[in-house]
Amino acid sequence: MKILVTGGAGFIGSHIVDAFVDAGHEVVVVDDLSTGFEEQLSPRARFYRVDIRETGLAAVFERESPEVVCHQAARANVRESMIEPELYADVNILGSLNLLQCCRQFSVRKVIYASTGGAVYGEPREVPVREDHPINPLDPYGTSKHTVEHYLYLYRAHYGIEYTALRYPNVYGPRQNPFGEAGVVAIFANQMLRGQQPLINGTGEQERDFVFVADVVKANLLALTRGDGEIVNIGSGVGTSVNQIFDFLAQECGYAHPAQHGPAKPGEVSRIFLNPTRAWETLGWKSTISVAEGLRQTVNWFRTAEPYWLRSSSPSQEPSPSIV
């Protein structure tokens, strides 16, 4: 089938594009390269440098006529969203609405949507969190991602466009930019390998659901033919603390310095991990790569990768981990 992937030059999106192409699908990538990189673009996919908010997006749909849209493009930095909520509404909500209008106009059959399980629930009442947990996001990022879930329901009800919304956990792995919309794994791995001191915000006992990018890719592959009309947590069901991540990475990187802690970040959820039962029941998906193995693969990639992300990022800046 022909699949259009938004954000296909980004961390997660580029891995999804590779997997779709490997599975024999015809793939079209839309990305404005604001956070993605040309080096991550698959040469086997057709690429359009287009912002999802632009009117020119319709021209791509008219030319390509995709059957399925895999929507990965978004602004995805929790702390940035607290400073620039208008930007997150503009890109994540209005950009997605522009995309859905194109899907309606050009008869797209289904949308696979990258939502967030780390930011929509707020501070959970119980863990692991189920999909029917109350939605109380604590930041504009989570609010924007959840809002689009409502639009997906609306477009299915009125226009027959199927969807599967995948609520991602803390995704990590090769190609994650340690300076941009970074996760704690990418930041710490890059700093440790360069002999720099990572800084843990707060006590480090914050727990998150860390899932390796290859497992997230599998969920997107399965969603091509399963999970219509569903919102699904893509999680391991297990919490891992930031301190544990530090210790795992220090061992893999050969980093001997003790952990250092800074002030806690306001508004940060203290403990969340996701119940994966519905993912198994509707998609046949479960997390298969352990945190230890995933971190090992991530560190090996950082050891050998050419740091192309430095072109648009300043290594002199101290990145602040985005733990969503």
Dist CA 153 CA 185 (whole Å): 33
Is residue 141 annotated as part of the catalytic site, yes or no?
yes
| Annotated catalytic residue within 141, 168, 172, 255 | 141
Question: Taking the CB of residue 262, how many other CB atoms lie within 10 A of it?
Answer: 11
Tell which residue, 289, 285, 305, has the closest CA to residue 230.
Answer: 285
Strand partners, 129: 274
Q: Pseudo-torsion of CA 190, 193, 199, 203, nearest 10°? A: 100
DSSP string, 173-237: -TT--SSSS--HHHHHHHHHHTT---EEETTS--EE-EEEHHHHHHHHHHHTTS-TTEEEE---S
DSSP string, 232-260: EE---S--EEHHHHHHHHHHHHT--SPPE
Q: What is residue 265's DSSP assignment? A: P
Q: Which residues are known to be catalytic?
A: 141
